[in-house]
Amino acid sequence: MNKKIKTAIIIGSGIGGLATAIRLARKGYAVKVFEANPDFGGKATKIEKDGFFWGFGPSLFTLPELLDELFVLCNRKPSDYYKYHRVDPICNYFFPDGTRLSAHADREKFAAEIETKTGEPARHVISHLNQIQKVYQVTKDIFLFKSLHKLRTYLAFKSLRALFNISTIGIGTNMNVANSRRFKDKRVIQLFNRYATYNGSDPYIAPSTLNVIAHPEYNQGAYFLDGGMPDLSHGLHQLAVELGVEFVFNAKVEKIVVSNKTATGVYVNGSFYPAEVVVSNMDIVYTYQKLMPEQKAPVKVIQSPKSTSAVIFYWGIKGKFPELDLHNIFFSDNYPVEFDYLTNKKLIYKDPTVYVFISTKYQPKHSPDGCENWFTLINVPHDAGQDWDVLVAEARKNVIAKLSKNLGIDIEPLISSETINTPKTIEAKTHSYLGSLYGNASNDKYSAFLRHPNFSSEVRNLYFCGGSVHPGGGVPLCLLSAKIIDGLIR
């Protein structure tokens, strides 16, 4: 007698959902993915307008081995689906005093550049990079690659080693304090403080453990996908389809059905779809509030402060700027005040730090000849009822003035195409609660332990992936959330 094939339903086709679908299909499940939008990818989709191409959200590609692993597991050659290469420099930095420096892919060269431009001894930079590498090695097996919420995680040798070294990873001090002890130059402190923004946190509050976020970039390298970040979701989708995963678009899941404390399926457009496994790639707050409001929600997770969001200007620029590279940062004149606005006032500082990503630098097809595609982002608070029309209009003016001053040319007449995303539109398009990009903020020293687990402790056969749950937001961590679920489902 043939054994019945079990069904798995995935709610949402962001990076975490796609990766989970692949892993469950590989296990032998019949996988069906319901996506409320007309296309897959979540925040890793594309925007095309007036001959320009941008990725909707993520732009930095690190830890490519986590992506490659999925294809190798399925006996596929990753380069048949996407291609990438290491970038150098990683980022160009522009400081308010006129200092410009490049973060080179070579650590020694990067450290030497900092010493030349700021006077900060190169040995301080190398020492810092060695320290965050050590923290990564100590913590990865307990904080990233496995569920924090299963006893067996803590009984593994590598996890015990991490627990014995917990005092060395910086939980007791914030990032700014730790970086101010290591570095003397304010520009260098600002450069390394900015990594708190990679998960929507505040370096003046968040534990210095988060300095580890810079490790993949500087110790392992930053990469560029030849077709841009949407290549990542396209490759995952193609592999999923080859494995037999079924995708249903414009299909908004209305309810997760729970019977006898077991997830048994979902309702979509009034029809019931049964499943032995249900995985939500939807924001964890919306999962509880909209898909299973009758279930008891974890109060601490739901009520925890949310991460920052972003205002993104997708600009088609007429002209070329050789002083800019793939990744570019224009720092604020007062970082503590900028974060006070973000964290406490829930407003946008008049001189925000500006990130400009230009994929045209590596892929000329993303812009018309003689043009560049500027993905121009500033960190902003999540939606708390602000008047975003007013805030965005003022921010646009300030960003243009800042970039024009740094580049020595008025850029506004060069903007030939424009699309804007705000916390409101990000929430509407990606169902991210309050427009928060990373779910809960990581400002509390125990925040890593407070993120929602990848499984339900109350409902059997119910799992969670994506940036709003463990281990966190960003492409590598979303891929790891799928890997953790793979390990939980025997």
Task: Specify the pTM.
Answer: 0.94
Domain limits, CATH 3.50.50.60, in the chain: 7-42+229-302+445-488
Residues, the chain:
490
In terms of Cα–Cα distance, which of 182, 103, 129, 175 is closest to 336? 175
The whole-angstrom separation of Cα 328 and Cα 323 is: 10
Task: Return the pLDDT at 150.
Answer: 52
pLDDT (tens digit per residue) in 288-332:
999 999 998 888 878 888 999 999 999 999 999 999 999 999 999
For 168, how many CA atoms within 13 A lie in the half-sphere containing its CB?
A: 14
Q: What is the mean pLDDT of residues 116-121?
A: 98
User: Six-digit token pair at 269?
Assistant: 């457009």
**Lookup result for tokens 């019931």:** 272
Residues 356 and 373: their CA atoms lie apart, in Å, by 9
Q: Are 164 and 154 in contact (CB under 8 A)?
A: no
Q: In CATH terms, is domain 7-42+229-302+445-488 a member of 3.50.50.60?
A: yes
The answer to whether the beta carbons of residues 163 and 142 sit under 8 Å apart is yes
Nearest of 51, 119, 163 to residue 449 by alpha carbon:
163
> For 25-29, 265-269, 451-455, 461-465, which range has the lowest pLDDT when averaged over its residues?
451-455
Residue 253 has pLDDT above 90, yes or no: yes
pLDDT tens column, 343-355: 999 999 999 999 9
Give the mean pLDDT of 427-448.
Answer: 87
Return d(Cα 474, Cα 437) in angstroms, integer.
9
Contact 440, 453 (CB under 8 A): no
Beta bridge partners of 224: 85
Mean pLDDT of the chain: 93
